[in-house]
Every structure is written in structure tokens, then in C-alpha cells.
Amino acid sequence: MKKTHIALLFLLAGAFVALASMLSRSAEHAGFDLASEQPDRIVRVSGTLVPGKTVDYQPEIDPNSFRFWMADKSGRQARVICYDDMPYDFEKSEEVVLTGQMKDDVFFATDLLVKCPSKYVEDDLTKSSTSAAEMQ
């Protein structure tokens, strides 16, 4: 066997190991129900902030975490403790995607992705209504 063939086999084996490692660490998309049924599994939960419940962030006590209530897509609400930076205007977010684990009816999130309302939506509506008025 040639040295290039051996090197290629090692390269393919390394790529396979890296891919298998990435797939094993990827989180399954789920709701709070599945997360509470399988507390050892890392899952990704999408939802919205619960209206009327406040976001608890006290940077003088713990600047590396904050707490809030979230409702998943099925409507189940859960308390969330997030160990990530709190994004600017977090309370105005349209959708929140969390990665973490559920323990004792509390979701512990290690990663947070926020979909915020677009500041350009209102501008687009204003422009389109202005253009329609100018055409008449």
C-alpha cells in the first residue's frame, strides 16, 4: 500500500470521528414535555416569553445568568435559568430558542438565540403606504 493511501485512510477516519462527535453533541428540537421526560438529554426548545412575568436579571449579584418564564410551542410554561448573556431588548423578543436540560421543572439553558422584531417592518409599511398615496 502506498503512503498516500495510508494518509488518505487516516484523513477519512479523522473526518468520520469528527462528524460522529458533532452529531452526538447536537441537540434535539423538543418541547418542555420531552425535556422533562428525559432530563439527561440536551434539547433545543423554541417558544415565547410569558406575558406578565418579569425577567429577573441582577448583574450585581450574578452577571452571568438571568431568569424568566417561557411558553413552548405547545403552550407549556416553564421557569428558565439561562447561563448566557442577556441580549439587549430581550423583553421585546418575538421568539426564543434555548439549548439546555430540564431538571425539577426548571429549564437550565446554556445557549440562547433570540428572534427580535424587525425595526424595518414599520418603515416598510410607512414607505408602501406613502408610495400608494403618491400614485393616486
Mind listing the pLDDT tens digit of every residue in the chain (136 residues)?
A: 788 878 777 777 776 666 555 544 445 678 898 888 888 889 999 999 999 998 999 888 888 899 999 999 999 999 999 998 888 888 888 899 999 999 988 999 999 999 877 655 555 555 554 444 454 5
Q: Are 82 and 114 in contact (CB under 8 A)?
A: no
| pLDDT at site 131 | 46
What is each CA distance from 25 to 41, 51, 71, in whole angstroms?
A: 10, 33, 25
| pLDDT at site 132 | 46
Fold of 27-131: OB fold (Dihydrolipoamide Acetyltransferase, E2P) (2.40.50)
Positive or negative: CA dihedral 71, 111, 97, 51: positive
Sequence spans of domains, the chain: 27-131
| pLDDT at site 18 | 61
| pLDDT at site 127 | 53
